[in-house]
Amino acid sequence: MKAAHHKAVAKPSGKSAPVISAELSELRPGQSIELLKELHILTREGRLNQDSRRKLKQVYHLFNFIEPLLQELSAAGHSPTLADHGAGKSYLGFILYDLYFKALGRGHIYGIEWRAELVEKSRALAQQLGFGRMSFLNLSVAESTEAAGLPERIDMVTALHACDTATDDAIAFGLQKQARAMVIVPCCQAEVAACLRQGKALQLARTPLAELWRHPLHTRELGSQVTNVLRCLHLEASGYQVTVTELVGWEHSMKNELIIARYTGQKKRSARERLRAILREFGLEQALGRGSGCQCRRTTLPCRWAKPRRV
């Protein structure tokens, strides 16, 4: 009886090791198991469940977009710098360091986050993991452009789900820092929608196109769409080649648009003209030009878009 009991206990125990080994084979070579546990991609037992496997897929999918840009920036021995705006728990920054910067042996990642407690946690985790070329700054995106703790130039700017106008602040930061590449996932844009809402009655009388935002839900959706179109035109007018795609795999988020901008130096006059034409067509230029027609929370962003900064 004792032998039988011993055999029954040993059987499941013997199967657990190969299962965990198979799960770890899904990871890329050299990845930090400790980091993946801290990010809750692996469980505390070092295993993948359905939710963590989905997260891992998302990480790899986004990394596949960013890695070629980093490789270009790293060419000829260059030490790439990257600023991650609205970093939160610095999920993206840690993954990029672990999968790319760690093996590269050079370069630096700056995580920019306004919540002090998250900045402190990220600093502690970087120290714990020995990720020495990571810095974390307790700043808003808007404040970061003039921050003393950042270099004059930054090679790559990322901003994933930076809320509302913070995305535009990240783009302005990239232009100011002469970024060679930007990777942006916009989130919950409200400013243009507020402007559309303000002049809705006038626009309904002026053009049938105003039916596109007559209903409140459509106003919000169209405002978001127009905002991202203006952002892309602004980047093209500033000398960037822009690609817009879906961030496939982020099924948990309705904000699934990925904007990738690479600096070429070819500033498109047609993009600037079309940007201004869109502002006119939607009645945004006149309202913003008066300085009183739009109830925006800060300096009106379309005014900045209408005058792209030089890079």
120 contact partners, CB below 8 Å, separation of at least 6: none
Confidence of residue 264 (pLDDT cuts 50, 70, 90): very high
Pick from 18-32, 65-79, 87-101, 220-234: least confident:
18-32
Q: For residue 4, what pLDDT band results from cuts at 50, 70 and 90? A: very low
Evaluate whether residue 6 is within a structural domain.
no
92-114 pLDDT per residue, tens? 999 999 999 999 999 999 999 99
Q: How confident is the model at residue 252 (pLDDT cuts 50, 70, 90)?
A: very low
Cβ atoms of 23 and 48 closer than 8 Å = yes
- In-domain check, residue 106: yes
Whether residue 171 is predicted with pLDDT greater than 90 in this model: the reply is: yes
Mean pLDDT value across residues 153-159:
96
pTM: 0.82
Residue 277 forms part of a structural domain: no
Q: Which one-letter amino acid corresponds to residue 181?
A: A
Asked if residue 138 belongs to a domain, the reply is: yes
> Total structural domains in the chain?
1
Per the structure, the complete domain to which residue 50 belongs is given by 35-185
| pLDDT per position as a tens digit, 200-211 | 877 777 888 888
Residue 106 has a pLDDT of: 96
pLDDT at 219: 86
In a domain, 152, yes or no: yes
Residue 154 domain-assigned?
A: yes
Q: Residue 199 and residue 62: Cα distance in Å, rounded?
A: 38
CA 291, CA 71: separation in Å to the nearest integer?
44
Residue 96 falls within a domain, yes or no? yes
Instruction: Look at 41-55, 68-82, 150-164, 231-245 and tell me which has the smallest mean pLDDT.
Output: 41-55
Structural contact between residues 133 and 108, judged by C-beta atoms closer than 8 angstroms: yes
Across the range 180-194, mean pLDDT stands at 85
Using only the alpha carbons of the chain, give its radius of gyration: 23
Mean pLDDT of 76-82: 93
Q: Is the pLDDT assigned to residue 9 strictly greater than 60? A: no
The CATH number for 93's domain is 3.40.50.150
Euclidean distance between CA atoms 81 and 283, whole angstroms: 40
Mean pLDDT of the residues in the chain: 82
Residue 114 tokens read as 């306004």
> pLDDT tens, 20-33?
555 667 788 888 99
Helix (H, G, I), strand (E, B) or coil at 188: coil
In a domain, 27, yes or no: no
Name the β-bridge partners of 163.
Answer: 187
Residue 167 pLDDT greater than 90, yes or no: no
- Percent of the chain exceeding pLDDT 90 equals 44
What's the number of CA atoms in the CB half-sphere (13 Å) around residue 266? 6
